[in-house]
Amino acid sequence: MSTKSNKSSVGKPQAARRNFFIGAGTAVGAAAVASQTSIGQALIADVGNAIDSKKEGYHLSAHIKKYYQTTLI
C-alpha cells in the first residue's frame, strides 16, 4: 500500500488565504496613507458633511416627543 499525498492541492487554499490577507493589509495601509493627504482630508470632510445632511430614516423630532408624552400614564 502506498500512501500518496498530493501536497500541491493542500497548499493552494492556504496560499489563497495568505494572499487575501496580504491584499487586505495593503488596502488598509493605502487608505490610511491616503487619508492623511490634503485630498484625502477634503474627501473625508465631504463624506462627513453628506452623512450629516442626510435626514432619512427615524429621528426624534418635537412632534414625536409630544406623542411620546401623551402615551405616558
Residue 46 to residue 54: CA distance in whole angstroms: 12
Across the chain, mean pLDDT equals 75
Q: What's this model's pTM, rounded to 2 decimal places?
A: 0.39
| pLDDT surpassing 70 at residue 42 | yes
Q: Which three cell numbers stand for residue 43?
A: 474627501
Whole-angstrom distance, CA of residue 73 vs CA of residue 66: 14
Confidence band of 7 (pLDDT split at 50, 70, 90):
low
Residue type for 23, please?
A: G
pLDDT level of residue 57 (50, 70, 90 thresholds):
confident
Distance CA 38, CA 5 (A): 55
